[in-house]
Structure 1
């Protein structure tokens, strides 16, 4: 005896067919050599089909570290300080750690500057100073980190390290030029945001 074809049964069959096809195409999309690109015409923006190969085929093997120092009025340079907002981890950080966003942005900007320099894509070494990643890093260093009160200029560097692997020496990828630090003068009675 055959089951009666009801709208609910047809709907369930269509849903299962759609989900099965979606799973199959999503699985094919994970093919490591990326030779199969036919699915792009169905999902050109990559919104419907998930990407499970987060870092493949080129996983990150190095950290990009940003350090800065100041030049004092007498020409003396202060020691390098690393830019980091590392905080002691707490259980809640498994679910909520908005401070990590700043670190991620700085890491990505440093990686962009490093890759541009290491790939040799610049006509002139000074061209990097006109790039948005450089300008964002300079703005961050100048305005979001403490400077010596006697400082007149600041400079940053980008170094590439192997992270926890201390057997590999860090590689200094880039030194910025020295840039003036603008001091804001505050009129009496004006509250300065902190």
Structure 2
């Protein structure tokens, strides 16, 4: 049996190692300015790196709005209507949530259009993309009953934590699309 002083020394060493590991883990999961400096001092020790929301955490919600109108260039379109799908949450969704895939695919497509727009892609390039077609089809499927022959969709970013006058920022307004794509008017 080790003596009391040996046990205290081992306990102090273990406490010190655990404290150093927790501090290193905390620093390693902060912005990259700390990461490069820290790697020199750990001597090969593996430090867990978690990036739950990195490198850019989401700070906005993307919404899909639609409006309808009749004719080649609708003279009196309807008001914009938010048709963004909502996902109900339940405690079992942590394990199994198959209904989240459709809204997630739509969200990813809307994000792709946001990226294209922010990178100054040409409008004809955007409208010929798969993401545009997916969002147009989703908007078409989410139109209110009895919609006229044409519709437009609008993507907006909503920043809940921004000042009131800066919360809503338009991203992209689509061309006028046919409600029934096989029918040309």
TM-score norm. by structure 2 comes to 0.62
Q: Which residue pairs with 1:68 in the alignment?
A: 66
- Worse overlay, 64-73 or 157-166: 157-166
**Against the structure 1 CA distance between its residues 106 and 91, is the aligned structure 2 distance closer, same or farther, given a 3 Å change threshold?**
same
- Worse overlay, 86-95 or 170-179: 86-95
Number of residues paired by the alignment? 142
Q: Please list the CA deviations of residues 69-116 of structure 1 after superposition, one character each: whole Å capped at 9, or x if unmatched.
A: 111357431222222332553343343332222221111111110111
Uncovered stretches (5+) of structure 1, i.e. residues with no partner: 1-26, 36-49, 186-194
1-structure distance, mates of 2:125, 2:144:
27
**Against the structure 1 CA distance between its residues 126 and 153, is the aligned structure 2 distance closer, same or farther, given a 3 Å change threshold?**
same
**Against the structure 1 CA distance between its residues 145 and 93, is the aligned structure 2 distance closer, same or farther, given a 3 Å change threshold?**
same
- Worse overlay, 55-64 or 93-102: 93-102
Q: Please list the CA deviations of residues 99-153 of structure 1 after superposition, one character each: whole Å capped at 9, or x if unmatched.
A: 2222211111111101111122x2x3222111111111112222x2234525111
Report which of the two has the higher share of helix.
2
Is residue 159 of structure 1 aligned with residue 156 of structure 2? yes
Partner-residue secondary structure (3-state), 1:67: strand
Q: Which residue pairs with 2:179 in the alignment?
A: 181
Aligned pairs for 1:20-99 (under 5 A) are: 33=32, 52-73=50-71, 75-99=75-99
**Against the structure 1 CA distance between its residues 91 and 160, is the aligned structure 2 distance closer, same or farther, given a 3 Å change threshold?**
same
User: Contact 2:63/2:155 (CA < 8 Å) preserved in 1?
Assistant: yes
**Against the structure 1 CA distance between its residues 181 and 51, is the aligned structure 2 distance closer, same or farther, given a 3 Å change threshold?**
farther
Q: Which residue pairs with 2:11 in the alignment?
A: none
1-structure distance, mates of 2:157, 2:143:
23
Q: Which residue pairs with 2:13 in the alignment?
A: none
2-structure distance, mates of 1:112, 1:53:
21
User: Contact 2:87/2:103 (CA < 8 Å) preserved in 1?
Assistant: no
Uncovered stretches (5+) of structure 2, i.e. residues with no partner: 1-24, 37-47
RMSD: 3.2
Deviation at 1:183, TM superposition (A): 7.2
**Against the structure 1 CA distance between its residues 83 and 150, is the aligned structure 2 distance closer, same or farther, given a 3 Å change threshold?**
closer
**Against the structure 1 CA distance between its residues 131 and 51, is the aligned structure 2 distance closer, same or farther, given a 3 Å change threshold?**
farther
Partner-residue secondary structure (3-state), 2:149: strand
- Worse overlay, 151-160 or 83-92: 83-92
Is residue 146 of structure 1 aligned with residue 143 of structure 2? yes
Q: Which residue pairs with 1:42 in the alignment?
A: none
